[in-house]
């Protein structure tokens, strides 16, 4: 137990030295050295944490996308029209018939499905 305490004291000491060095560096050279900022983002529907995306700040998580419906509460899903991951189309989940819109509703909230920047599908709030 005493050895573990010594390790923690050592780690804290090293971190304190890093902070002092970065502060001195900032003062001497006139620009900031900072710890990496961690951006947090949540699904706008269920509020679960999702991977941060500056391109899609309001994208819906995978679990909520599974709940997508049309205006009449019929389940729909979206997919790429090209094998390469491009294009966006929808279909009714139960019948497989084409769904001719990219708008959907998740827990009553209007959303829009679209082709993602590098392929795939992204669903955002409207």
pLDDT tens track for 84-119: 889 999 999 999 999 999 999 999 999 999 999 999
Is the domain of 51 the same as that of 86? yes
Q: Are residues 54 and 30 in the same domain?
A: no
pTM equals 0.68
Total tally of structural domains belonging to the chain? 2
**Residues 3 and 48 reside in one and the same domain:** no
Q: Are 52 and 43 in contact (CB under 8 A)?
A: no
Structure tokens at 50: 């999702």
* Residues of the chain where predicted confidence (pLDDT) is lower than 50: 33
Are 90 and 76 in contact by the 8 Å Cβ rule? The answer is yes
**Cα 65–chain centre separation:** 13
Structure tokens at 49: 């944490």
Same domain, yes or no: 61 and 15: no
Short-list 126, 121, 124, CA closest to 77: 121
Residue 87 structural domain:
41-125
Say if residue 30 is in the same domain as residue 58.
no
Q: What is the pLDDT of residue 60?
A: 98
């Amino acid at each position: 137990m005493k050895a573990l305490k010594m390790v923690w004291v050592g780690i804290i000491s090293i971190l304190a030295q890093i902070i002092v060095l970065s502060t001195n560096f900032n003062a001497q050279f006139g620009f900031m050295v900072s710890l990496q900022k961690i951006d947090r983002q949540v699904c706008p529907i269920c509020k679960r944490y999702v991977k941060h995306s500056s391109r899609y700040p309001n994208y819906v998580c995978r679990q909520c996308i599974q709940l997508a419906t049309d205006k009449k509460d019929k389940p729909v899903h979206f997919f790429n029209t090209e094998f390469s991951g491009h294009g966006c189309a929808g279909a009714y989940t139960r019948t497989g018939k084409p769904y001719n819109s990219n708008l959907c509703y998740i827990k009553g909230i209007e959303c829009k499905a679209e082709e993602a920047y590098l392929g795939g599908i992204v669903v955002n709030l409207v």
